[in-house]
Amino acid sequence: MTEPRRRPPGSTDVARLAGVSQKTVSRVMNGEQYVSDEVRERVLAAARELGYRRNTAARALNLGRFHRIGVASLGTSLFGPSSLLIALERRVREIGYAFTVVNTLEGEEGGIMKAVESLLEQGVDGIVLSEPIDEGQTLRIEADVPVLSFGELAGLDGPRVMVTGGSGVGAGRTATEHLLGLGHATVWHVAGPSRWFAARDRAQGWREALAAAGAPEPPMLEGDWSPASGYAAGRILAADPEVTAVFVANDDMAIGLLRALTEAGRAVPEQVSVVGMDDIPSAAYLSPPLTTIRQDFEATAAHGLELLVERIESGPGQAIRDDLPMELVVRRSTAPPKE
Amino acid sequence: MTEPRRRPPGSTDVARLAGVSQKTVSRVMNGEQYVSDEVRERVLAAARELGYRRNTAARALNLGRFHRIGVASLGTSLFGPSSLLIALERRVREIGYAFTVVNTLEGEEGGIMKAVESLLEQGVDGIVLSEPIDEGQTLRIEADVPVLSFGELAGLDGPRVMVTGGSGVGAGRTATEHLLGLGHATVWHVAGPSRWFAARDRAQGWREALAAAGAPEPPMLEGDWSPASGYAAGRILAADPEVTAVFVANDDMAIGLLRALTEAGRAVPEQVSVVGMDDIPSAAYLSPPLTTIRQDFEATAAHGLELLVERIESGPGQAIRDDLPMELVVRRSTAPPKE
DNA sequence: GGGGCGTCTGACTACGTAGTCAGACGCAAG
DNA sequence: CTTGCGTCTGACTACGTAGTCAGACGCCCC
């Protein structure tokens, strides 16, 4: 007598117990019509009794689809990316798909491509590149799987690729316009790492707003999203008395910047105004409370996934590029210039 | 002529092209021995040419295993949970499994059970409850799938359940001992929501340390992890001149607390010392830089998953309960009491 | 009473992989 | 030369589900 390693019950077992055919069980489990109430009841009772659960593998094999969406993400606990990931998960589940994540450690060679390959091997119906960064190589995805990228990923190419915008450019523009509107002669910018398209977008929005207002464009500083890098940038900016307004590409860097300004005796907002981005939960409790920009990750996720699922279920459509809604949250870190 | 909806190539197609049997292709793809180099080469070439990828569904169906680990998480961008999730993903992939997340919106009725059910339907070989919270109901998991819970989940019951500790109790003890060691008569505590076992553990560590030192136990305040709730707690504590030392259950709440103290004119650390927990990246850049406790999520994830995979691959073993390493990071928010 | 249609059910089969078993071949030892 | 063993390969089959197709039955209408 071998190990009683009983395999889980299948539709055949349920069928036997209910005294019907396997096919009828399948019909009941899929809620098809043309099953008498009496039979349906009997099957459901049998299924309950046996603890029956449909076998996903067999279903996927038969249907040729997995009902699974894979996300290649960046494995960072940064507020933006992780918020987007949560929004994606929720939305994916709402539309009846399963959810898989593969993280690509930043800096890893060809990380995104590896992540995509891993997703393809797992078998997914659609792929999302949630935080595309520029890895300096073309990213050609051969498989017959639609791919959604949040942000223009240079070199991304393939038969079924589509791109939808975040709110980067608009956000950069809004933040900069806010500061200019307060009367500042120009606005400095501490950007995120340039490999990130989100960082590029924000910087571009900043540039556009300056140009539109005819304001001079000061040299741009680049951080790595971390408070430490914001602090480093802050030390540089604090030393320059010309600096009266700064747009920082995320709140974490803004925290470091605030600290550097404080240490240098530059008062915020009296001497320097600061705008962050993300509206992290602690933004309202910093010293001073931070003016920042809040993105709507729920909307971003929903919009992108809608496009993706449409491709999955009915084939190609046209790509879309658009800015999604965002909101300026004015707190106490911005004010008109002192002078 | 119908739509040329070509299905992806299978091992049969590769076999035909390479002039071998389907079984031989399978052998090559699985790296089995007893295949001549010449045949192996031919098969690999054919596979490359066709863009062949093993069909996960068929594999899973045949093997009866999915090589997939599912995580029921909480859908929050809090630093702790999201860091743990990232560590889990990385580790799961390292050990050759696929990774699925299902988030349970907090507050949802029976959220964890629903998440687990969803994972079971998807077909996973093991389940991780990454941030167990007390939903006030027994959580009996019927399926023959091993479950790993990070933290003692009341009512969690089932044939193959195991629990491994986080570092909550030890962290609470360490933080409190640090403050007592500086000479404070006692230590106040702002806890996380009591439904979270992580919050309970930290509070218990705090209590244990006070008891061990013979210090009186002041009333405990409870927040919801957010800076706003820390701020609220801070306003209460700031009003009480007795308060000289506070252990806050996470850094976000500590930020709110710091702000409340500052607004009330209570200097940190001169009048009040504060210890947080998590060591979020911005902790070092707050005013003042925050003394806090750093957890080793990588180790936690690795340790737990090791247990889980052992259960998956070789059956039951004994449950383990242990505290994992953590580290006190001393910065400037703590000092001996003024007087 | 016969024809037609709507409702309900089941037999058969495909999906792609890997386990089992059998057999072919070459080489070494007796 | 025979025997035996190690190496290599393929035929057959199971895995659990759902699509296709065919058939049974009851009812309504002419």
Three-state secondary structure call for residue A306: helix
Task: Dig out the tokens for A224 from the structure.
Answer: 């790595």
Three-state secondary structure call for residue B128: strand
The alpha-helical segments, DSSP class H, found in chain A are 11-18, 22-29, 37-50, 56-63, 79-94, 111-122, 168-181, 197-213, 227-238, 251-263, 297-314
Whether A158 has a pLDDT exceeding 70, the answer reads no
B2 pLDDT tier (thresholds 50, 70, 90): very low
**What pLDDT digit, counting tens, does each position of A225-258 carry?**
999 999 999 999 999 999 999 999 999 999 999 9
Give the residue from A48, A77, A97, A313 with the most B CB atoms within 10 Å of its CB, the best one to mutate.
A77
A1 pLDDT tier (thresholds 50, 70, 90): very low
* CB neighbourhood size of B48 (10 A): 10
Three-state secondary structure call for residue B152: coil
The average pLDDT across A199-212 equals 95
Which residues are in reach of strand D, CB within 7 A? Answer: A 7-8, 10-12, 22-23, 26, 29-30, 52, 54-55, 58-59, 61-63; B 19-24, 27, 33-36, 38-39, 58, 61-62, 64
CB A87 within 8 A of CB A298: yes
pLDDT at residue B199, rounded to an integer:
93
CB B74 within 8 A of CB B133: yes
Angle formed by the axes of helices A11-18 and A22-29, nearest 10°: 110
Q: Which nucleotide is nearest to B59 (CA to C1')?
A: C17
Name the A residues in 152-211 with CB < 8 Å from any B CB. none
| Residue appearing with tokens 């925290």 | A255
Edge-to-edge strand list for the sheet holding B188-191: B221-222, B188-191, B245-248, B273-275
State how far the Cα of B147 lies from the Cα of B149, in Å rounded to an integer. Answer: 6
Of A40-54, B153-167, B209-223, B290-304, minimum mean pLDDT range? B153-167
B319 pLDDT tier (thresholds 50, 70, 90): low
* CB neighbourhood size of B338 (10 A): 11
Contact B89 A83 (CB under 8 A): no
| Protein-proximal positions, strand D, CB < 7 A | 7-12, 14-20
A157 pLDDT tier (thresholds 50, 70, 90): low
Kindly give, in sequence order, each residue whose CB lies less than 8 Å from that of residue A98, ignoring residues fewer than 6 positions away: A66, A67, A68, A69, A92, B100, B122
Q: Which nucleotide is nearest to A7 (CA to C1')?
A: D15
Task: Dig out the tokens for A286 from the structure.
Answer: 């910093």
State how far the Cα of A21 lies from the Cα of A18, in Å rounded to an integer. Answer: 9
Arithmetic mean of pLDDT over chain B: 89
For β-strands B139-140 and B245-248, DSSP reports them as unpaired
The average pLDDT across A25-52 equals 92
- Min Cα distance B248 → chain A (Å) is 15
The average pLDDT across A136-143 equals 71
Give the residue from B278, B285, B331 with the most A CB atoms within 10 Å of its CB, the best one to mutate.
B285
Long-range contacts of B261-268 (CB under 8 A, 24+ apart): B261/B234, B261/B237, B262/A287, B262/B287, B263/B238, B264/B234, B264/B235, B264/B238, B264/B239, B266/B238, B268/B333
CA A315, C1' D29: Å apart? 45
pLDDT at residue B1, rounded to an integer:
30
B4 pLDDT tier (thresholds 50, 70, 90): very low
**What pLDDT digit, counting tens, does each position of B122-151 carry?**
889 999 998 888 777 667 777 778 888 887
Q: Which nucleotide is nearest to B34 (CA to C1')?
A: D8
State whether the Cα torsion A139-A143-A145-A146 is positive or negative.
Answer: positive
A310: burial class by Cβ within 10 Å (0-12, 13-18, 19+)?
middle
Whether B3 has a pLDDT exceeding 50, the answer reads no
Higher pLDDT, B106 or B334: B334
pLDDT at residue B150, rounded to an integer:
84
Closest residue in chain B to residue A5, using alpha carbons only: B144
Of A166-175, B199-208, B328-337, minimum mean pLDDT range? A166-175
pLDDT at residue A19, rounded to an integer:
92
The average pLDDT across A298-326 equals 79
Higher pLDDT, B313 or B120: B120
A159 pLDDT tier (thresholds 50, 70, 90): low
Task: Dig out the tokens for A211 from the structure.
Answer: 């140009």
Whole-prediction pTM: 0.91
Instruction: Please tell me which of the candidates A142, A230, A284 has its beta carbon nearest to residue B51.
Output: A142
- Min Cα distance B320 → chain A (Å) is 25
CA angle A211, A217, A220 (to 5 degrees): 125
Instruction: Please tell me which of the candidates B54, B255, B284 has its beta carbon nearest to residue A282.
Output: B255
The average pLDDT across B217-237 equals 97
State how far the Cα of A313 lies from the Cα of A316, in Å rounded to an integer. Answer: 9
Edge-to-edge strand list for the sheet holding A221-222: A221-222, A188-191, A245-248, A273-275
Of A5, A26, A4, A16, the C-alpha closest to A49 is: A16
Of A295-304, B95-104, B139-148, B277-286, minimum mean pLDDT range? B139-148
Whether B221 has a pLDDT exceeding 70, the answer reads yes
Which helix (H) or strand (E) segment holds residue B53: the answer is none
Measured between alpha carbons, how far is residue B230 from residues A270, B134, B193, B250 in Å?
A: 27, 22, 12, 9
pLDDT at residue B155, rounded to an integer:
65
Does A115 reach chain B within 8 Å, measured CB to CB? no
pLDDT at residue A163, rounded to an integer:
72
Which helix (H) or strand (E) segment holds residue B188: the answer is strand B188-191
Angle formed by the axes of helices A297-314 and A79-94, nearest 10°: 50
Of B296, B283, B253, B82, the C-alpha closest to A281 is: B253
Does A81 reach chain B within 8 Å, measured CB to CB? no
